[in-house]
Protein backbone atom coordinates (compact mmCIF):
# COMPACT_ATOMS: atom_id res chain seq x y z
CA UNK A 1 0.00 0.00 0.00
CA UNK A 2 1.38 3.39 -0.91
CA UNK A 3 1.51 6.07 1.77
CA UNK A 4 -1.32 8.60 1.92
CA UNK A 5 -0.14 11.47 -0.27
CA UNK A 6 -1.91 13.97 1.96
CA UNK A 7 0.19 13.03 5.00
CA UNK A 8 3.37 15.11 5.22
CA UNK A 9 6.59 13.12 5.43
CA UNK A 10 10.27 13.95 5.05
CA UNK A 11 12.67 12.21 2.73
CA UNK A 12 14.79 10.76 5.56
CA UNK A 13 11.92 9.19 7.44
CA UNK A 14 11.67 5.41 7.30
CA UNK A 15 8.53 4.37 5.40
CA UNK A 16 6.78 1.04 5.60
CA UNK A 17 4.10 -0.72 3.60
CA UNK A 18 3.61 -3.60 1.22
CA UNK A 19 4.53 -3.25 -2.41
CA UNK A 20 3.07 -5.06 -5.39
CA UNK A 21 4.60 -8.47 -5.99
CA UNK A 22 7.43 -8.31 -8.50
CA UNK A 23 9.04 -11.21 -10.27
CA UNK A 24 12.69 -11.65 -9.21
CA UNK A 25 15.55 -13.21 -11.12
CA UNK A 26 18.68 -14.57 -9.47
CA UNK A 27 21.97 -13.48 -10.99
CA UNK A 28 25.18 -15.54 -10.89
CA UNK A 29 27.35 -14.78 -7.85
CA UNK A 30 30.86 -13.39 -7.95
CA UNK A 31 32.71 -10.42 -9.23
CA UNK A 32 30.74 -10.41 -12.48
CA UNK A 33 27.81 -9.00 -10.53
CA UNK A 34 29.61 -5.82 -9.57
CA UNK A 35 30.38 -5.10 -13.21
CA UNK A 36 26.81 -5.97 -14.15
CA UNK A 37 25.40 -3.61 -11.48
CA UNK A 38 27.55 -0.77 -12.76
CA UNK A 39 26.60 -1.60 -16.33
CA UNK A 40 22.90 -1.69 -15.46
CA UNK A 41 23.23 1.85 -14.16
CA UNK A 42 24.45 3.08 -17.55
CA UNK A 43 22.54 1.34 -20.31
CA UNK A 44 19.07 1.70 -21.74
CA UNK A 45 17.14 0.44 -24.71
CA UNK A 46 19.04 1.50 -27.83
CA UNK A 47 16.02 3.14 -29.35
CA UNK A 48 15.43 5.24 -26.25
CA UNK A 49 19.11 6.18 -26.05
CA UNK A 50 19.04 7.56 -29.57
CA UNK A 51 16.44 10.13 -28.60
CA UNK A 52 17.24 10.88 -24.93
CA UNK A 53 20.34 11.61 -22.82
CA UNK A 54 22.22 8.47 -21.89
CA UNK A 55 22.47 9.63 -18.28
CA UNK A 56 18.84 9.17 -17.29
CA UNK A 57 18.65 7.24 -14.01
CA UNK A 58 15.05 6.12 -14.58
CA UNK A 59 15.65 4.65 -18.03
CA UNK A 60 18.91 3.04 -16.92
CA UNK A 61 17.15 1.05 -14.23
CA UNK A 62 13.88 0.43 -15.99
CA UNK A 63 15.05 -1.30 -19.12
CA UNK A 64 16.53 -4.33 -17.36
CA UNK A 65 13.51 -5.06 -15.22
CA UNK A 66 11.16 -7.85 -16.39
CA UNK A 67 8.27 -6.93 -18.66
CA UNK A 68 4.73 -7.61 -17.54
CA UNK A 69 3.84 -11.29 -17.83
CA UNK A 70 0.71 -10.38 -19.80
CA UNK A 71 2.97 -9.57 -22.75
CA UNK A 72 4.62 -13.00 -22.89
CA UNK A 73 2.32 -14.57 -25.47
CA UNK A 74 2.50 -11.56 -27.76
CA UNK A 75 6.29 -11.45 -27.61
CA UNK A 76 6.51 -15.12 -28.57
CA UNK A 77 4.98 -14.42 -31.96
CA UNK A 78 6.87 -11.18 -32.51
CA UNK A 79 3.95 -8.77 -31.97
CA UNK A 80 3.94 -6.38 -29.04
CA UNK A 81 0.44 -5.83 -27.64
CA UNK A 82 0.38 -2.92 -25.24
CA UNK A 83 -1.83 -2.95 -22.17
CA UNK A 84 -3.81 0.31 -22.12
CA UNK A 85 -2.17 2.99 -20.00
CA UNK A 86 -3.58 3.83 -16.61
CA UNK A 87 -5.15 7.16 -15.80
CA UNK A 88 -4.67 9.69 -13.02
CA UNK A 89 -5.81 9.27 -9.47
CA UNK A 90 -7.34 12.40 -7.97
CA UNK A 91 -4.08 13.04 -6.09
CA UNK A 92 -2.02 13.01 -9.31
CA UNK A 93 -0.18 9.78 -8.45
CA UNK A 94 1.04 7.78 -11.44
CA UNK A 95 -1.02 4.62 -11.92
CA UNK A 96 -1.50 1.79 -14.38
CA UNK A 97 0.71 -0.36 -16.62
CA UNK A 98 1.88 2.74 -18.50
CA UNK A 99 2.34 5.45 -15.90
CA UNK A 100 0.67 8.78 -16.56
CA UNK A 101 0.22 11.93 -14.52
CA UNK A 102 -1.04 15.48 -14.68
CA UNK A 103 1.57 18.03 -15.71
CA UNK A 104 2.18 20.88 -13.31
CA UNK A 105 2.24 24.54 -14.31
CA UNK A 106 5.64 26.07 -15.02
CA UNK A 107 6.92 29.30 -13.46
CA UNK A 108 9.85 30.29 -15.66
CA UNK A 109 11.15 32.89 -13.16
CA UNK A 110 10.53 31.16 -9.84
CA UNK A 111 13.38 28.63 -9.63
CA UNK A 112 16.31 30.85 -8.49
CA UNK A 113 14.32 32.33 -5.61
CA UNK A 114 13.01 28.93 -4.52
CA UNK A 115 16.45 27.28 -4.78
CA UNK A 116 18.00 30.04 -2.67
CA UNK A 117 15.33 29.55 0.00
CA UNK A 118 15.75 25.77 0.19
CA UNK A 119 19.56 26.10 0.13
CA UNK A 120 19.32 28.17 3.34
CA UNK A 121 17.14 25.49 4.92
CA UNK A 122 19.48 22.72 3.78
CA UNK A 123 22.58 24.44 5.18
CA UNK A 124 20.97 24.57 8.64
CA UNK A 125 20.16 20.84 8.75
CA UNK A 126 22.03 18.52 11.11
CA UNK A 127 24.95 16.80 9.42
CA UNK A 128 24.88 12.97 9.51
CA UNK A 129 27.66 11.34 11.52
CA UNK A 130 28.70 7.73 11.26
CA UNK A 131 31.06 5.58 13.28
CA UNK A 132 34.04 3.68 11.91
CA UNK A 133 32.94 0.50 10.19
CA UNK A 134 29.37 1.63 9.50
CA UNK A 135 27.64 1.66 6.09
CA UNK A 136 25.54 4.28 4.34
CA UNK A 137 22.08 2.81 3.81
CA UNK A 138 19.80 4.29 1.12
CA UNK A 139 16.31 3.00 0.39
CA UNK A 140 14.29 4.22 -2.56
CA UNK A 141 11.10 3.33 -4.44
CA UNK A 142 10.94 3.53 -8.20
CA UNK A 143 8.66 2.80 -11.14
CA UNK A 144 8.51 3.85 -14.77
CA UNK A 145 8.21 2.83 -18.39
CA UNK A 146 10.57 2.08 -21.23
CA UNK A 147 10.43 1.34 -24.94
CA UNK A 148 10.76 -2.34 -25.88
CA UNK A 149 11.34 -3.48 -29.44
CA UNK A 150 10.55 -7.03 -30.58
CA UNK A 151 11.00 -8.07 -34.23
CA UNK A 152 11.01 -4.45 -35.30
CA UNK A 153 7.81 -3.57 -33.41
CA UNK A 154 8.23 -1.04 -30.60
CA UNK A 155 5.93 -0.25 -27.72
CA UNK A 156 5.87 1.11 -24.19
CA UNK A 157 6.21 -1.32 -21.27
CA UNK A 158 5.52 -0.42 -17.63
CA UNK A 159 7.97 -1.17 -14.78
CA UNK A 160 6.23 -1.98 -11.46
CA UNK A 161 6.80 -0.01 -8.28
CA UNK A 162 9.68 -1.63 -6.40
CA UNK A 163 12.12 -0.98 -3.57
CA UNK A 164 15.87 -0.61 -4.06
CA UNK A 165 18.21 -0.95 -1.07
CA UNK A 166 21.93 -0.19 -1.08
CA UNK A 167 24.59 -0.43 1.59
CA UNK A 168 27.96 1.22 0.86
CA UNK A 169 31.05 1.79 2.94
CA UNK A 170 32.00 5.49 3.17
CA UNK A 171 35.07 4.89 0.99
CA UNK A 172 33.00 3.11 -1.66
CA UNK A 173 35.09 -0.08 -1.60
CA UNK A 174 32.47 -2.34 -0.05
CA UNK A 175 28.72 -2.57 -0.48
CA UNK A 176 25.58 -4.54 -1.20
CA UNK A 177 22.52 -4.15 -3.44
CA UNK A 178 19.02 -5.63 -3.20
CA UNK A 179 16.62 -4.72 -6.00
CA UNK A 180 13.79 -6.94 -7.28
CA UNK A 181 14.25 -7.70 -10.95
CA UNK A 182 17.97 -6.91 -10.91
CA UNK A 183 19.11 -9.15 -8.04
CA UNK A 184 17.88 -12.20 -6.19
CA UNK A 185 16.20 -11.87 -2.79
CA UNK A 186 19.56 -11.91 -0.98
CA UNK A 187 21.13 -9.28 -3.25
CA UNK A 188 24.63 -8.97 -4.73
CA UNK A 189 27.96 -7.61 -3.56
CA UNK A 190 29.26 -4.26 -4.77
CA UNK A 191 32.76 -4.93 -3.46
CA UNK A 192 35.86 -5.71 -5.47
CA UNK A 193 38.10 -4.19 -8.15
CA UNK A 194 36.91 -2.33 -11.20
CA UNK A 195 37.16 -3.52 -14.80
CA UNK A 196 40.91 -2.78 -14.85
CA UNK A 197 41.56 -4.79 -11.69
CA UNK A 198 42.14 -1.72 -9.56
CA UNK A 199 40.12 -0.43 -6.59
CA UNK A 200 37.15 1.57 -7.92
CA UNK A 201 37.77 5.31 -8.04
CA UNK A 202 34.73 7.37 -6.98
CA UNK A 203 33.56 10.09 -9.36
CA UNK A 204 30.50 12.26 -9.92
CA UNK A 205 28.64 9.44 -11.65
CA UNK A 206 29.42 6.93 -8.88
CA UNK A 207 30.32 8.91 -5.76
CA UNK A 208 31.21 7.55 -2.35
CA UNK A 209 30.33 9.29 0.90
CA UNK A 210 33.97 10.27 1.37
CA UNK A 211 34.20 11.56 -2.21
CA UNK A 212 31.23 13.85 -1.63
CA UNK A 213 32.97 15.30 1.42
CA UNK A 214 35.79 16.51 -0.85
CA UNK A 215 33.62 18.34 -3.40
CA UNK A 216 33.70 22.15 -3.38
CA UNK A 217 30.86 23.89 -1.58
CA UNK A 218 31.26 27.11 -3.52
CA UNK A 219 28.41 26.98 -6.08
CA UNK A 220 30.46 28.41 -8.94
CA UNK A 221 33.40 26.05 -8.41
CA UNK A 222 31.04 23.11 -7.97
CA UNK A 223 29.17 23.83 -11.20
CA UNK A 224 32.44 24.22 -13.12
CA UNK A 225 33.57 20.81 -11.88
CA UNK A 226 30.26 19.26 -12.91
CA UNK A 227 30.50 20.76 -16.40
CA UNK A 228 34.10 19.61 -16.79
CA UNK A 229 33.53 16.03 -15.61
CA UNK A 230 30.36 15.52 -17.65
CA UNK A 231 31.71 17.05 -20.86
CA UNK A 232 30.43 15.10 -23.87
CA UNK A 233 27.74 13.23 -21.95
CA UNK A 234 24.09 13.46 -22.94
CA UNK A 235 22.58 15.64 -25.65
CA UNK A 236 23.02 18.98 -23.88
CA UNK A 237 25.66 20.11 -21.36
CA UNK A 238 23.17 22.08 -19.26
CA UNK A 239 20.69 19.21 -19.10
CA UNK A 240 23.50 16.82 -18.24
CA UNK A 241 24.63 19.08 -15.39
CA UNK A 242 21.06 19.27 -14.10
CA UNK A 243 20.69 15.48 -14.27
CA UNK A 244 24.02 14.95 -12.49
CA UNK A 245 22.99 17.21 -9.62
CA UNK A 246 19.67 15.38 -9.38
CA UNK A 247 21.46 12.04 -9.17
CA UNK A 248 23.67 13.33 -6.36
CA UNK A 249 20.60 14.55 -4.46
CA UNK A 250 18.62 11.33 -4.88
CA UNK A 251 21.11 8.48 -5.14
CA UNK A 252 23.75 9.51 -2.60
CA UNK A 253 23.86 11.40 0.71
CA UNK A 254 25.45 14.87 0.39
CA UNK A 255 26.25 16.85 3.52
CA UNK A 256 24.04 19.85 4.37
CA UNK A 257 26.69 22.29 3.07
CA UNK A 258 27.13 20.37 -0.18
CA UNK A 259 23.35 20.05 -0.61
CA UNK A 260 23.01 23.82 -0.28
CA UNK A 261 25.80 24.29 -2.84
CA UNK A 262 24.10 21.88 -5.26
CA UNK A 263 20.88 23.89 -5.06
CA UNK A 264 22.71 27.16 -5.67
CA UNK A 265 24.67 25.60 -8.54
CA UNK A 266 21.41 24.40 -10.13
CA UNK A 267 20.06 27.95 -9.96
CA UNK A 268 22.85 28.99 -12.33
CA UNK A 269 21.94 26.46 -15.02
CA UNK A 270 19.98 28.07 -17.90
CA UNK A 271 16.44 26.80 -18.39
CA UNK A 272 15.75 25.69 -14.82
CA UNK A 273 12.13 26.42 -13.84
CA UNK A 274 9.68 25.95 -10.97
CA UNK A 275 6.68 23.59 -11.32
CA UNK A 276 3.73 24.15 -9.00
CA UNK A 277 2.88 20.48 -8.38
CA UNK A 278 4.50 17.05 -8.74
CA UNK A 279 4.11 13.66 -7.05
CA UNK A 280 6.88 11.19 -6.23
CA UNK A 281 6.81 7.38 -6.40
CA UNK A 282 5.54 7.15 -2.81
CA UNK A 283 2.56 9.40 -3.54
CA UNK A 284 3.96 12.45 -1.74
CA UNK A 285 3.08 15.73 -3.43
CA UNK A 286 5.18 18.85 -3.51
CA UNK A 287 6.65 21.61 -5.62
CA UNK A 288 9.32 20.81 -8.21
CA UNK A 289 12.46 22.32 -9.66
CA UNK A 290 12.67 21.16 -13.27
CA UNK A 291 14.35 21.43 -16.63
CA UNK A 292 13.15 20.49 -20.11
CA UNK A 293 15.29 18.30 -22.34
CA UNK A 294 14.24 19.69 -25.70
CA UNK A 295 15.83 16.83 -27.66
CA UNK A 296 13.47 14.24 -26.18
CA UNK A 297 10.59 16.45 -25.04
CA UNK A 298 11.05 15.24 -21.45
CA UNK A 299 11.09 17.24 -18.23
CA UNK A 300 13.10 16.13 -15.22
CA UNK A 301 11.60 17.29 -11.92
CA UNK A 302 13.10 17.35 -8.42
CA UNK A 303 10.27 17.20 -5.89
CA UNK A 304 10.37 19.03 -2.53
CA UNK A 305 8.06 19.05 0.46
CA UNK A 306 6.09 22.31 0.46
CA UNK A 307 6.40 22.86 4.21
CA UNK A 308 9.84 21.52 5.14
CA UNK A 309 11.68 21.98 1.79
CA UNK A 310 13.01 18.42 2.20
CA UNK A 311 14.01 16.64 -1.01
CA UNK A 312 11.44 13.88 -1.60
CA UNK A 313 12.46 12.40 -4.93
CA UNK A 314 12.37 13.04 -8.65
CA UNK A 315 10.61 12.03 -11.81
CA UNK A 316 10.97 12.41 -15.57
CA UNK A 317 7.79 13.05 -17.58
CA UNK A 318 7.03 13.42 -21.26
CA UNK A 319 5.78 16.97 -21.83
CA UNK A 320 6.55 17.59 -25.50
CA UNK A 321 6.79 15.67 -28.74
CA UNK A 322 8.47 12.28 -28.47
CA UNK A 323 10.86 11.84 -31.45
CA UNK A 324 9.64 8.24 -31.82
CA UNK A 325 5.97 9.06 -31.31
CA UNK A 326 5.52 6.42 -28.59
CA UNK A 327 5.31 8.49 -25.41
CA UNK A 328 2.21 10.61 -24.97
CA UNK A 329 2.45 13.85 -22.97
CA UNK A 330 1.93 13.02 -19.32
CA UNK A 331 3.72 9.66 -19.54
CA UNK A 332 6.02 9.12 -16.55
CA UNK A 333 9.28 7.73 -17.85
CA UNK A 334 10.52 7.23 -14.31
CA UNK A 335 9.55 8.18 -10.78
CA UNK A 336 11.83 7.88 -7.78
CA UNK A 337 11.26 8.47 -4.04
CA UNK A 338 13.88 8.58 -1.30
CA UNK A 339 12.46 6.67 1.68
CA UNK A 340 15.40 6.39 4.08
CA UNK A 341 19.05 7.42 4.43
CA UNK A 342 21.01 6.43 7.51
CA UNK A 343 24.23 4.96 8.88
CA UNK A 344 23.86 1.29 9.89
CA UNK A 345 26.24 -1.14 11.52
CA UNK A 346 26.32 -3.80 8.82
CA UNK A 347 25.26 -4.93 5.36
CA UNK A 348 21.57 -5.91 5.12
CA UNK A 349 20.78 -4.11 8.36
CA UNK A 350 18.09 -1.42 8.18
CA UNK A 351 17.51 1.63 10.38
205-238: b (≥16 Cβ within 10 Å) or e: bbbbbebbeebebebeebbeebbeebeebbebeb
Residue 131 in contact with residue 346, Cβ under 8 Å?
no
Residue 340 has pLDDT above 70, yes or no: yes
CA distances from 221 to 66, 186, 265 (A): 41, 41, 9
Q: Cα separation of 308 and 325, whole Å?
A: 39
What single-letter DSSP state applies at residue 227? H
The structural domains of the chain, with segments of one domain joined by +, span 32-344
Least confident interval from 14-28, 111-125, 251-265, 292-306: 14-28
Contacts of 159 (CB under 8 A, 6+ apart): 61, 62, 65, 142, 143, 144, 145, 146, 181
Least confident interval from 11-15, 197-201, 232-236, 336-340: 11-15
- pLDDT tens-place string over residues 234-243: 889 999 999 9
Model confidence, pTM: 0.74
pLDDT of residue 165: 98
Mean predicted lDDT score pLDDT of the chain: 78
- Half-sphere exposure for 9 (CA within 13 Å, toward CB): 24
Q: With bands split at pLDDT 50, 70 and 90, how would you rate the model's confidence at 97?
A: low
pLDDT of residue 98: 77
Amino acid sequence: MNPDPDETRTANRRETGDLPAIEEHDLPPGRHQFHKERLMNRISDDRVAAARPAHNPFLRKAVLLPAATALAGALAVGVLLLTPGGGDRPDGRATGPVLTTRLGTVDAQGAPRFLERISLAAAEADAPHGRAGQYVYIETRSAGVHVKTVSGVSGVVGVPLHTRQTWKSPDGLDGWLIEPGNTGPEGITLAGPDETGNPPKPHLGAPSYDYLAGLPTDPGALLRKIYEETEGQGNDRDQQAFTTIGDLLGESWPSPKLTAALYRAAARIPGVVLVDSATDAAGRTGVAVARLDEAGGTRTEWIFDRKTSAFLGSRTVQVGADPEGLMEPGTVLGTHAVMARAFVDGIRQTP
